[in-house]
Amino acid sequence: MKFIVSSSVLLKNLQILSGVLNTSNTLPILDDFLFELKEDDLLITASDLETTMTVTVKLTNSGEPGIIAIPAKIMLDTLKTFADVPVTINVNENTLGIELSAGEGKYRLVGHKSDEFPQTPIKEDITELNIDSSILVSAFNKTVFAAGTDELRPVMSGVFCDLSSDETIFVATDAHKLVRYKRKDIKAEKSSSFILPKKPLNQLKNTLSCADVPVKIEYNETNAFFTFGNVNLSCRLIEGKYPNYEAVIPNENPNVLTISRNALLVSIKRVAIFANQSTHQVRFKISGKELVLSSEDVDFANEAKERLTCNYEGDDMEIGFNSKFLLEMLSNIDGDDVKIEMSAPNRAGIVLPVEEDNKNEEILMLVMPVMLNQ
């Protein structure tokens, strides 16, 4: 097995795959990239058992086909040191010896047998959907940050996708915050729903944000498959029933605060610096056309207070929010102005854009309040 490839092309593709690799693996083979040569196509795969990603690199100069697993770290570290030069990789499949030649340098390492590498899931009973990459990136950007990290509640550690013939709804929640993102321009032939894990979503988000390409999504009861450009990604879906998220969204919210999104964002950033670093609590005191943001950390005698002009309809109110959650939400909402709808200091607040920039999308964010220190 022998082929010649540009070092920069190979490095770029390996870096795309590197997000799949874990820092500590129970199986040593998962620390490897799988290299498979098929005529003039080099297929390189990374897997963590749950997520498998393959890139296809077109070659102009290759020899006998073959397959071998190559240690990922040494391969990446070596390629990072090269300028853009042709690299010749020669593999002895009997001894598993690998020789890299670049310029005047020769480098030798030992690979592993390919039969230990995880198999890519087989596509059976699949449903197909085609989506533009920019729409998918937008959906993942606006939801994945709200997904949970609690291993005891795995269904909440991913993004719930509810597809129908009218629209597609993406939902993420960790019980403290929730995002519901609707797209009217994503429609499926038949209704279905599944939960996508956070890790492959972040991997897709990072890879797709650099490209404007159509994405083919195929899914069944257990797996989802994404195909775009020269990349194939498959991931195991999270098993279980997603909680009834509609039930936690309050309908009656008579107190409505309307304010400049950016002004609120930068003000919370400043005030949060002085907040208690375990609760991150910021107090909202709203009356008339004035919002007073304040925070304090009693242990260090730190406190901050800022006044902002706003439009407010409703009763005078004091309510506390986790500043980290609000900052994430305000950073992922488009538009100049936002409104926060509230009913009581102990009930969830709803964060919405005042105007939707895109008629095909609709976003709602919910944040639970925190108990105010009196």
pTM for the model: 0.92
Q: pLDDT by residue for the chain (374 residues), tens digit each?
A: 999 999 999 999 999 999 999 988 889 999 999 999 998 899 999 999 999 999 999 998 888 899 999 999 999 999 999 999 999 999 998 999 999 999 899 999 999 999 999 999 999 999 999 999 999 999 999 999 999 998 889 999 999 999 999 999 999 999 999 999 999 999 988 899 999 999 999 999 999 987 789 999 999 999 999 999 999 999 999 999 999 999 999 999 999 999 999 999 999 999 999 999 999 999 999 998 999 999 999 999 999 999 999 999 999 999 999 999 999 999 999 999 999 999 999 999 999 999 877 889 999 999 999 987 65
Distance CA 360, CA 355 (A): 12
Question: Within the chain, which residue ranges are assigned CATH 3.10.150.10?
Answer: 2-116, 127-243, 249-370
Distance CA 297, CA 232 (A): 49
Check if the beta carbon of residue 56 is closer than 8 Å to that of residue 234.
no
Long-range contacts of 285-292 (CB under 8 A, 24+ apart): 285/317, 285/318, 286/255, 286/257, 286/310, 286/312, 286/314, 286/316, 286/317, 286/318, 286/319, 287/312, 287/316, 287/317, 288/312, 288/316, 291/257, 291/259, 291/264
Does domain 2-116 sit in CATH 3.10.150.10?
yes
**Domain 249-370 class, CATH top level:** alpha beta
Does domain 127-243 sit in CATH 1.25.40.10?
no
Rounded to 10 degrees, what is the CA torsion of 54, 58, 64, 69?
A: -30
Residues 6+ apart with CB under 8 A from 374: none
